[in-house]
């Protein structure tokens, strides 16, 4: 009887591990795929010079960003258990690429703009691989950080919205530095949850990782543009 129970437990553990590996594999594939609409959206935004249009009306641009981003995220979550969830996720990443075009246009205005973008991309990749390595090797549970990090994100949003109108350089730098730190920690928490089987839906997992990577990249690029841009 004890041997029978041991076999059942072993089978259950194997099935659980297979399920976790499948979620992780599908998440990485979908995350990679989501970069394509982001690049297309950014290219379209640059081609149409949408950054200049957004700069003329920062208030309306902010409303458009929040309405589009949160609306599409709601649709992703509502359809996370069917194929439309993937469609809405890719639409979301396309929209975020368009929103990124303003920052890209600013950085590309520097002589070394292309190098700065590649450096920000490489830095974001380095953060991802570092967090993935920690999440897959450490036995420490980082899930307790979620509430603290969520509070930090709310404060960041309030500060970023305020600075759209205040235009205080020191506040912008502070927000960017804190955003990189907070979303790097979020990346660690989300990766560990996926690896340990706490997240069973790969669409939701992809959305969480994408948001962290997007914010790390955009804020790192903003800092590089400010401190490393060559006129």
Average pLDDT, the chain: 89
Polymer length of the chain: 231
> Which pLDDT score, from 0 to 100, does residue 55 have?
78
pTM for the full predicted model: 0.90
**Residues 133, 154: Cα–Cα separation, whole Å:** 28
For residue 155, what is the enclosing H or E element?
helix 146-166
53 vs 140: which has the higher pLDDT: 140
Residue 14 — very low, low, confident or very high, per pLDDT cuts 50/70/90? Answer: low
10 pLDDT exceeds 80? no
d(CA 82, CA 21): 20
> Per residue in 35-86, pLDDT tens?
999 999 999 999 998 887 887 887 788 889 999 999 999 999 999 999 999 9
């Amino acid at each position: 009887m004890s041997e029978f129970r041991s076999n059942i437990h072993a089978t259950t553990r194997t099935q659980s591990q297979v399920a976790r590996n499948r979620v992780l594999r599908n998440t990485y594939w979908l995350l990679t795929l989501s970069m394509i609409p982001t690049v297309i959206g950014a290219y379209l935004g640059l081609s149409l010079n949408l950054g200049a249009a957004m700069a003329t009306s920062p208030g309306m641009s902010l409303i458009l960003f929040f309405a589009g981003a949160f609306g599409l995220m709601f649709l992703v979550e509502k359809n996370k258990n069917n194929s439309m969830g993937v469609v809405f996720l890719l639409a979301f990443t396309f929209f975020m690429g368009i929103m990124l075009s303003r920052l890209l246009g600013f950085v590309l205005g520097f002589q070394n703009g292309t190098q700065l973008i590649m450096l920000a991309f490489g830095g974001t990749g380095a953060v991802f691989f570092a967090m993935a390595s920690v999440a897959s090797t450490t036995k420490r549970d980082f899930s307790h950080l979620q509430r603290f990090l969520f509070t930090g994100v709310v404060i960041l949003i309030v500060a970023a919205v305020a600075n759209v109108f205040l235009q205080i350089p020191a506040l912008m730098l502070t927000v960017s530095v804190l955003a990189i730190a907070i979303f790097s920690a979020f990346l660690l928490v989300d990766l560990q949850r996926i690896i340990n089987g706490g997240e069973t839906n790969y669409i939701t997992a992809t959305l969480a990782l994408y948001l962290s990577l997007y914010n790390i990249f955009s804020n790192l690029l903003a800092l590089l543009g400010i401190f490393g841009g060559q006129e």
